[in-house]
Amino acid sequence: MGTREDAHAMRIMIVDDHELFRNGLRFQLAHIDPSMDILEADTFHDAIRLADTEPRLDKVFLDVMIPDMDWREALLALRDRAEPPDVVVVSGAGDARTIRAAIDHGACGFIPKSLKGDILESALRLVLVGGFSITPQGVGPAMPGGSLGSSAPVGGGEDVPLTPRQREVLNHIHAGLSNRQIAQAMTLSEATIKMHIGRLFKVLGAQSRTDALAVARRKGVL
């Protein structure tokens, strides 16, 4: 449903079963960058099929309330590809448990549907440039490594935008743990740990664990 005029334009997919919301988010994104190639899907299955046919997909804005399958499975399926897109959960379900589950399953941010105006635009701009945004309002206690009320990259040193989970994984790598040991320590699946490590490498620009640790030290993250 998007244009193909600019092969270098950022390619976005909006996944939501409410057309009104898709139209509103499309308008906001087009306002930020009119050159974007914006695709849409109204079910998780359609989103996964569309992602499978696209040679490149940069960002996915994903609702969690679509009934055709579990949103966590959909998120993992969208991330399970050679060059996974960044997935941002955009939802009316803003409880701390949903936010934590989204991050644990590889989301690079959470934006509640209630955000409007400049706050929404700031959150969108942040995730579009690769930052990490969690912007629920008045939800639960702070998460390890960052506040649930913040809309800024979580990182250190040179403002490397690591999520709290990525930072935790990095510390386990620094301790010399294997993927299986990290999964056991964090009570997550190995597949989820691999996705966190892949995203960690991407953010740091690293090709291996040794490289990631060297980059993290150089940038003051460790």
Query: 15 - beta bridge partners?
Result: 41, 62
Structural tokens at position 60? 């996915």
- Answer whether residue 2 shows pLDDT above 80: no
Give me the architecture of the 11-134 domain, per CATH: 3-Layer(aba) Sandwich (3.40)
Separation CA 99–CA 108 (nearest Å): 11
Mean pLDDT for all residues in the chain: 80
Please check whether residue 84 is in contact with residue 198, taking contact to mean a CB–CB distance below 8 angstroms.
Answer: yes
pLDDT of residue 160: 64
Sign for the pseudo-dihedral over CA of 197, 199, 135, 104: negative
Q: For 40-95, how does the pLDDT look when each residue is reduced to its tens digit (9 = 90+)? A: 999 999 999 999 988 789 999 999 999 999 999 999 899 888 788 899 999 887 67
- pLDDT score at 153: 38
pLDDT tens column, 106-160: 888 888 888 888 888 888 888 887 776 665 443 333 343 333 334 433 334 445 6
User: Above pLDDT 70, what percent of the chain?
Assistant: 82
Section 211-216 average pLDDT: 86
Look up tokens 């597949």; give the residue. 191
Domains 11-134 and 164-218 share a fold: no
C-alpha pair distances (Å), 178 with each of 38, 173, 181: 39, 7, 5
- pLDDT for the residue numbered 50: 93
CB atoms within 10 A of CB 171: 15
Tell me what pLDDT residue 134 has: 67
Listed residue (184, 181, 147) closest to 163, CA to CA: 147
Which parts of 42-134 fold into alpha helices (H)? 44-53, 71-79, 96-104, 117-128
CATH 1.10.10.10 assigned to 164-218: yes
The first and second tokens of residue 72, run together, are: 């966590």
**CA 49 centroid distance within chain:** 19
Domain boundaries, the chain: 11-134, 164-218
Other Cβ atoms less than 10 A from the Cβ of 58: the count is: 17
Q: How far apart are CA 88 and CA 150, in angstroms?
A: 15
Predicted local distance difference test score (pLDDT) of residue 125: 87
Percent above pLDDT 90 for the chain? 29
